[in-house]
A and B are shown apart, each in its own frame.
Chain A
């Protein structure tokens, strides 16, 4: 099956700093989503981005499908950005089916 690797696994930032999270995947995809999991376990949708670039406030994401990676940018980080960020993909051979998740990036933003 498809492999999804996220880096770095852990990240500690000072409030106000910028960061880039990376997601590499091993096969073509027709769905790629970024999620933020809050301390209560809720997965919050950040981006649906199988290709291209999107921005939402301090967050932006870019997926280069031909090179099989996606990047999540967090600018001017805040303590509320802390949590785990997951990348999840749906391989092209299984359209609209299961998502395969990476191992996540655990982000801690210190005041």
Chain B
């Protein structure tokens, strides 16, 4: 079990550019979650998938944010037309819905928009 992995670990982009982050969950975990964490705050939920179905997306911050999990394995989070306010740590987590709901987090992708 290699844990949740995220790539890239760091991303610096210019305002107005599009960025895409990837998350690989723990194998056999059927739920995958995206969170955002700004400096000095706790993580904030964005969206989640069960297998390939996106079950909650109303918390995505704007229509510039979108996420996919096309084959129920890895997921991508895309931010279009980035703004300086998008600078944050983007965290991915996964869990196996069965007897418990414990979520395990990846190391995060730190985004800086200049």
Contacts and interface: CB of A to CB of B under 8 A. Distances in A.
A88 interface: yes
B44 interface: yes
Interface residues of B, number: 27
A37 to B, nearest CB: 9
B48 interface: yes
Interface residues of A, number: 23
Contact of B107 (A30, A33, A41): A41
B48 A97 contact: yes
B102 A98 contact: no
Contact of A95 (B35, B44, B101): B101
A51 B31 CA distance: 23
A58 B45 CA distance: 30
Given A99-B43, A101-B43, 10 more contacts: A30-B101, A31-B102, A35-B105, A41-B108, A42-B107, A42-B108, A43-B43, A48-B100, A99-B33, A101-B44
